[in-house]
């Protein structure tokens, strides 16, 4: 399925949406239904957050980060008719190894968190932070969100925020990621990598760095699957500053060249969404807005973003795609 056909399919169904509140002027506004997923949606969960959603069949499907009350981090599948009310599987995804060498890395399981889901060709690919001698990027695919075939890890540790592009670029697969370290990384740039087969990754290129003395001064990381527009790949990402009270995560946006996505066409200097309400400011990790998925209805000029709030809950926010593009270029 081509990118154009995918966009048409998504537009035909509509997406979860609320109009901008009267009197509001921000480019992005929060849903009045937030938070839409909480720890009560999975028995034994401590928190559910930083999760990814895609259109699927007549509704939506997703992969959710669920930290249980032992504080183990794992991934659960979920389904929804409207993209707002979710039914999550009570048990973690049991990934089927693609071959014996993948089974070897499964024996060293440490954690699985912060998934992204990308529809690519004839299936859905999941990328996540997979623990194998430290955090790296796990990769799997599914056609039904019930059985998931795991491929080899994409990179050496340490790496986080691996996000696939929704089509091949120049005949090869492409991914954004953020090389890091073994701890709660206090640095990080976004890089671009290519693969002929989704197993062997190389031709790494630097994309973007943090910006000194700004809301994204400490580190940045790719968020939802890049959105193809006539102006370039729209990338929503999280940026982090270090305050006297710790890290503060906010959402920004940039445009990357369609043919050479390691080249930045434009980048917003201000944030689009930052912690301002209780479910973003108070939780297991305070002051976090962490975008992981976006739904687009280009015909209606609508964009809905799924994000984690305070490392505790799943939330949604809305925007007009044209206004986000204008914001990036302002």
Strands of the 289-297 sheet, one edge to the other: 28-30, 313-319, 302-309, 289-297
Q: What CATH number corresponds to the domain at position 44?
A: 2.115.10.20
Per-residue pLDDT tens digits for 269-324: 999 999 999 999 999 999 999 999 999 999 999 999 999 999 999 999 999 999 99
Range(s) of the domain holding residue 226: 3-18+26-329
Residues contacting 195, CB < 8 A, separation 6+: 154, 172, 173, 174, 175, 201, 202
pTM for the whole thing?
A: 0.95
| DSSP tag of 39 | G
For residue 100, the surrounding DSSP H or E stretch is: helix 100-106
6 pLDDT higher than 50 = no
How many domains in the chain?
1
- Burial (Cβ within 10 Å: 0-12, 13-18, ≥19) of residue 122: exposed
- Residues 180-223 pLDDT 10s: 999 889 999 999 999 999 999 999 999 999 999 999 999 999 99
Q: Based on the number of CB atoms within 10 Å of its own CB, is 101 exposed (0-12), middle (13-18) or buried (19 or more)?
A: exposed
pLDDT tens across 133-174, in order?
999 999 999 999 999 999 999 999 999 999 999 999 999 999
């Amino acid at each position: 399925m081509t990118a154009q056909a995918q966009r048409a399919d998504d537009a035909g169904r509509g997406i979860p949406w609320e109009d901008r509140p009267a009197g509001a002027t921000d480019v992005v506004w929060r849903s009045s239904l937030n938070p839409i997923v909480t720890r009560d949606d999975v028995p034994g969960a401590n928190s559910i957050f930083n999760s990814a959603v895609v259109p699927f069949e007549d509704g939506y499907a997703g992969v959710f980060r669920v930290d249980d009350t032992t504080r183990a981090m794992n991934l659960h599948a979920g389904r929804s008719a409207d993209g707002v009310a979710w039914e999550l599987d009570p048990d973690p995804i049991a990934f089927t190894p693609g071959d014996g060498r993948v089974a070897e890395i499964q024996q060293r399981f440490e954690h699985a968190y912060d998934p992204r889901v990308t529809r690519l060709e004839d299936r859905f690919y999941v990328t996540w932070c997979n623990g194998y001698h430290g955090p790296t990027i796990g990769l799997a695919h599914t056609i039904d969100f019930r059985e998931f075939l795991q491929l080899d890890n994409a990179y050496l540790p340490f790496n986080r925020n691996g996000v696939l592009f929704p089509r091949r670029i120049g005949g090869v697969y492409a991914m954004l990621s953020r090389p890091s370290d073994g701890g709660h990384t206090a640095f990080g740039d976004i890089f671009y990598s290519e693969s002929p087969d989704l197993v062997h990754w190389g031709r790494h290129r630097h994309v973007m760095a943090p910006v000194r003395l700004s809301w994204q001064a400490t580190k940045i990381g790719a968020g939802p699957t890049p959105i193809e527009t006539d102006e370039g790949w729209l990338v929503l990402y999280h940026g982090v500053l270090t305050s006297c009270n710790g890290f503060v995560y906010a959402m920004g946006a940039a445009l990357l060249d369609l043919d050479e996505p390691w080249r930045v066409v434009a980048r917003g200097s201000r944030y689009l969404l930052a912690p301002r309400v209780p479910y973003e400011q108070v939780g297991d990790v305070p002051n976090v807005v962490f975008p992981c998925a976006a739904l687009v209805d280009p015909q209606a000029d609508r964009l809905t973003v799924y994000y984690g709030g305070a490392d505790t809950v799943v939330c949604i926010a809305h925007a007009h795609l044209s206004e986000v593009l204008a914001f990036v270029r302002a």
